[in-house]
Structures are given as C-alpha cells and as structure tokens.
Amino acid sequence: MHQKLALLLLSLSVSALASDPDPVQDFCIPSSKSTCKNPTLATPDDFVFSGIRSASNFSDTGLSSSAVNHAVFPGLNTLGMSAVRADLKPGGINPPHFHPRATEMVYVLQGKVYAGFVDSTNRVFAKVIERGDVMVFPRGLVHFQMNVGETPATVFGCFNSQNPGTQKIPNVLFGSGISDVLLEKAFGLSIKQIMNMRRRFLPKPHH
C-alpha cells in the first residue's frame, strides 16, 4: 500500500514539474534584488511592451525573430506565457526546430507561409497559411515555416510557458559536439561534408 502511494505521489510530482507553476499572486514584476516589486509600485507601463513594432536583424536564412519574454517584458514574469515575432523575407525560412517546454500557436499578420509540424510517427501536418490564419504546433514536436509568397511575411507566435526553450535541428546536429563518426553513420555523409556543415552551424568565436 505504501509503495503504491509513493509511486502515485512521485507521478504527481513529475506531472507538476512538466509545466510552469501556477502563480500565487496577481503578478510579480521583478525587482533588482531578484524578488517581486511591491505591487503598489507597479504601473501600466510594466504591462506594456513595444519592442516588436518592427522586424529585427535578419539571419542568412531570411528570418528575423524577436522574443517577447520576461527578460525583456517584466510584466510576463510568473504568468506562464511568452511570445515571438517572426518576419520572413520572400523565400526565407524558419528552420526545423522544437520547443521542449511549450505548445506554440502562430497567427499570420501578413504574407503567405508554408508551415507545419511532424508528429512522433513522422507524419507531416503542413499547409500554406495566410493573413488571419492561426496554426498550432504541439509541444515538443519539430515544426517549421517558409515564406512562399512574393512579399515579406510576419507571424506572431505565443507559448504556454515562460521559458519554452528552442532547439534548432541543424544547430543541434552540427553546431554541437556530437561525434563526427556518429553523424557519418547516421546520415551517410562524408567527414568532409560534416565539417562543411559544422562551419555553418558552430557558434562563432567572440573577438
């Protein structure tokens, strides 16, 4: 009996750790001391963020991504959510990636985007979405976007986690320390091809 109870409590605790904790107060604006600011000192400005009015710098893949999280928008702290603005040049892509701690829902503000995700059976759920369309990417599943229109595209994504995490598949495979031999066997690539890929995705040294 005690063993069954212990297993039940363990399973409940694991489930509880699988998502952001519920807040125990209305809000928590971080102070300089890593604690919550006195609620009476909060202002409307703490709950407004204007940092995604325009696109940020674009990557080599034609993607501009601006995160909206508690680090830049303190009003989100402890609320269990975050967001992102993504802009895509014509032909630009948001490479396959996943968020280990959150489901994402995206809303197309402008443009025409081929978007989708892959489930655990390798089935692809993808289609072209346009202005006004909403699509959801289940938590932990690989997903992607590509601008298939002739004009810039903008999508707004929201997450049900304060810290969803992002792991981009190309960076994970070729920008980390995974053995070259393992990658050679897994993908049928030559060592030369693997090194070429590593040069693209390894972090650039700071000078």
Per-residue pLDDT reduced to its tens digit, 74-94: 999 999 999 999 999 999 999
* 99 annotated binding-site participant: yes
Alpha-carbon span 126 to 113, nearest angstrom: 10
pLDDT, residue 16, reads: 47
pLDDT score at 201: 79
- Rounded to two decimals, what is the model's pTM? 0.82
Partners of 45 in the beta sheet? none
Q: Angle at CA 22, nearest 5°, toward 17 and 24? A: 130
The better pLDDT of the pair 8, 61 is held by 61
Sheet order of strands, 153-159 included: 63-68, 82-88, 153-159, 104-110, 134-137
The structural domains of the chain, with segments of one domain joined by +, span 39-165, 167-207
Comparing 79 with 34, which gets the higher pLDDT?
A: 79
Average per-residue pLDDT in the chain?
Answer: 89
The tokens describing 73, both together, are 């928008």
pLDDT at 8 over 70: no
The token pair at 195 is 């090194």
Scored b (16 or more CB within 10 A) or e, 85-103 reads bbbbbeebbbbbbbbebbb
Highest CATH level, class, for 39-165 = mainly beta
CB 51 within 8 A of CB 83: no
Q: Does 21 have pLDDT greater than 90?
A: no
Residues 90, 151: contact at Cβ < 8 Å? yes
